[in-house]
Copies of this chain bind each other. A is one copy, B any other.
Amino acid sequence: MSNTTKVLPLLEPEVPETVVPCCPPLTERPFTAEEAETAARMFKALGDPVRLRLFSAVASHEGGEACVCDISDVGVSQPTVSHHLKKLKDAGLLTSERRGTWVYYRVEPSVLAAMGKLLTVAPSAA
């Protein structure tokens, strides 16, 4: 039975080929200074516990977006939350949009996929 070979469209609404070609996998070849600069910026953005929690909260929220009020319970003051959300936004990991009273943040799916590719264990290496 070829049950596993069914290429059913497991809900890939986003995550298209538009994955930003930031850098090759870390294991493919030594990064250039420029590549390292770019990739480090993204890693750095996730290199703080509070930001990681905020990002995870947004990413795991209904539809990949969340109101600030829903995720700001991470143990720091609200200005600090805002500060970190801005950093994530500056790093290109989140986007924000104001809808009436509340501000909603949502993840940038392509960036997530790009980072995942960075950490791919080179299959050809072996």
Q: Does A71 contact B (CB under 8 A)?
A: yes
State how many copies of this chain the complex holds.
2
Q: Does A83 contact B (CB under 8 A)?
A: no
Determine if B40 and A123 form an interchain contact, defined as CB atoms under 8 angstroms apart.
no
Q: Determine the distance from Cα of A62 to Cα of B71 in the docked complex, in whole angstroms.
A: 44
Q: Does A109 contact B (CB under 8 A)?
A: yes
Given contacts A26-B59, A56-B31, contact A121 B112 (CB under 8 A): yes
Determine if B57 and A30 form an interchain contact, defined as CB atoms under 8 angstroms apart.
yes
The contact size tier of chain A is 35 or more
Query: Which of B11, B37, B52 lies in contact with A31, CB distance below 8 A?
Result: B52
Within A1-38, the residues touching B (CB, 8 Å) are 1, 3-4, 6, 8-11, 13-15, 26-33, 36-37
10 A-B contacts, Cβ less than 8 Å apart?
A: A6-B8, A10-B10, A26-B60, A29-B60, A30-B53, A30-B60, A36-B53, A39-B46, A40-B49, A112-B119
